[in-house]
């Protein structure tokens, strides 16, 4: 179960047997399927696709395979080489391209890689489009072009700088205001492309940068998911450097976490809360996050007179709900900031700039800011899936058990209790069931999660 096909893309571990892992054969097959689908979808004779990658060790190999496959279909390529997910997303419409592919397994460890697929807007494909590509890949009915019609490759390594310029041009970002605050910030780029992009952005904003793991070698110095248990080094360095705060991103720079001035986690869930607080304070409007995200965003939105709605998990689902709800900011509680004024994609560069503006205008410390927000605590646990486990049956049984509570089933099962909630769902990116809970204290959140895990195991006979 190390080749996972979902709305989050085609994701798998490198090596092993084709069909079971993300091997060169699988990379070619799914790239070809995307190219064939794009030809049908765009109804154009000549297509252009933007391709970029994070710094993971398999990136260059997978990129060469993907680019050559698309060239073999007669598709022209704009090759960004080392880039970030949001940078590729903004490059697609800028290049007037027909689509884009980001080669990254996001927060997964170094043995993973993935093809994340974009449309002509630089947005992720919807479930129906993804299903069509999987069908094409399954049939392997590929028709490559003649030698005279091969695509071309144009290399452009300037897009991180272009992306930074776009962030600086946002109406709610004022570089002078940030420069005057004279911030000192530690950056953990997990030895991927965030180590290029985030320090460059900060330096443009007059921030003193202390770099930690910012060499894009692809040798991740710790588990690249920006969770507390993986971030001891930056927490210590923020204190040692007497920095105002720390910034942590995942390998493809679409998840953003902060370390406060005391060396404690600001809380990934509160990245979106803080950025939304700043934006809503300047512009009246609505917000959206997914079902697994904190109630704190709802509270802050209502404080500013807006409406909050929740979507199914997955960036494409959040974006769809944001458009329907006319949300002016949204995202996911894993530190993913989506600010439509820039583009409809999770973007740590945009999130960093908005957070800096909030801190520059508010004054005070990051710890003070965190203390000013509604206090919720989350537990994020998982159960490893085993072959033959009837996950849907388990989720149905849990929904039935708690049918007298407020139940939402658009994505797994979410059970809303008066003082807390639990969300149970199959992961789009790993062979696991995720169990997320939130309560008014960490012990209550952990106890609720452990209780639910015990109930799930009893239902499943584990």
Q: Which two tokens stand for residue 182?
A: 């004279």
The Cα-based distances of 105 to 4, 114, 254 in angstroms read: 11, 5, 11
* Cβ–Cβ under 8 Å, residues 252 and 84: yes
Indicate if 106 belongs to the active site. yes
The Cα-based distances of 334 to 127, 138, 279, 454 in angstroms read: 21, 32, 19, 25
* Cα–Cα distance for residue pair 168/171, rounded to 1 Å: 8
Strands 327-332 and 286-290, by their bridges, are: parallel
Could you write out the DSSP letters of every residue in 373-409? S---EEEEEEEE--TT--HHHHHHHHHHHTTTSEEE-
- Give 43's contacts (C-beta < 8 A, 6+ positions apart): none
Q: What is the dihedral of CA 81, 342, 376, 109, to 10 degrees?
A: -10
The Cα-based distances of 73 to 51, 270, 329 in angstroms read: 15, 44, 38
The Cα-based distances of 3 to 21, 54, 224 in angstroms read: 5, 19, 19
The Cα-based distances of 55 to 46, 156, 217, 272, 369 in angstroms read: 30, 16, 6, 26, 33
Q: Which two tokens stand for residue 123?
A: 């947005």
Helix (H) or strand (E) holding 315: helix 315-325
* Cα–Cα distance for residue pair 78/137, rounded to 1 Å: 23
Which of 8, 83, 106, 342 is catalytic? The answer is 106
Tally the residues of the chain: 462
Residue from 7, 27, 112, 114 nearest 70 by CA: 27
Map residue 448 onto helix, strand or coil.
helix
Q: Which two tokens stand for residue 409?
A: 């089933």
As annotated, the active-site residues are: 106
């Amino acid at each position: 179960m190390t080749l996972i096909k979902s709305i989050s893309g085609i994701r798998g571990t490198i090596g092993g047997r084709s069909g079971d892992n993300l091997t060169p054969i699988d990379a070619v097959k799914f790239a070809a399927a995307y190219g064939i689908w794009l030809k049908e979808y765009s109804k154009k004779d000549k297509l252009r696709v933007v391709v970029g990658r994070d710094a993971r060790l398999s990136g260059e190999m997978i990129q060469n395979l993907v680019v050559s496959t698309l060239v073999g279909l007669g598709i022209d390529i704009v090759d960004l080489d080392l880039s970030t997910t949001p940078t590729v997303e903004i490059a697609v419409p800028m290049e007037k391209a027909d689509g884009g592919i980001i080669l990254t397994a996001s927060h997964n460890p170094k043995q993973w890689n993935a093809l994340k697929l974009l449309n002509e807007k630089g947005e992720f494909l919807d479930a129906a489009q993804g299903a069509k590509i999987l069908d094409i890949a399954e049939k392997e009915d590929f028709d490559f072009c003649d030698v005279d019609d091969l695509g071309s490759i144009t290399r452009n390594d300037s897009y991180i700088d272009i992306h930074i310029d776009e962030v600086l041009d946002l109406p709610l970002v004022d570089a002078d205001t940030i420069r005057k605050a004279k911030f000192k910030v530690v950056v953990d780029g997990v030895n991927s492309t965030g180590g290029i992009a985030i320090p460059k952005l900060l330096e443009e904003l007059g921030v003193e940068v202390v770099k930690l793991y910012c060499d894009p070698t692809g040798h991740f110095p710790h588990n690249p998911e920006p969770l507390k248990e993986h971030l001891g080094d930056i927490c210590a360095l923020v204190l040692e450097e007497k920095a105002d705060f720390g910034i942590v991103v995942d390998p493809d720079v679409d998840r953003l976490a902060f370390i406060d001035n005391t060396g404690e986690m600001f809380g990934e869930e509160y990245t979106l809360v803080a950025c939304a607080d700043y934006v809503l304070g300047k512009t009246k409007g609505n917000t959206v996050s997914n079902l697994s995200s904190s109630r704190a965003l709802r509270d802050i939105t209502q404080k500013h007179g807006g409406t909050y709605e929740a979507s199914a998990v997955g960036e494409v689902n959040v974006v769809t709900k944001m458009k329907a709800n006319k949300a002016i900011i949204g995202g996911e509680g894993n530190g993913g900031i989506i600010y439509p004024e820039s583009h409809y994609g999770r973007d740590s560069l945009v999130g960093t700039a908005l957070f800096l503006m909030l801190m520059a205008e508010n004054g005070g410390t990051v710890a003070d800011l965190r203390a000013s927000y509604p206090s919720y605590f989350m537990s994020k646990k998982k159960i490893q899936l085993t072959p033959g486990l009837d996950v849907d049956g388990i989720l149905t049984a849990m929904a039935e058990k708690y049918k007298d509570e407020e139940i939402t089933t658009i994505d797994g099962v979410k059970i809303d209790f008066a003082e807390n909630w639990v969300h149970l769902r199959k992961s789009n990116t790993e062979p696991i069931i995720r169990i997320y809970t939130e309560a008014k204290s960490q012990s209550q959140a952990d106890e609720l999660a452990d209780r639910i895990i015990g109930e799930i195991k009893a239902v499943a006979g584990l």
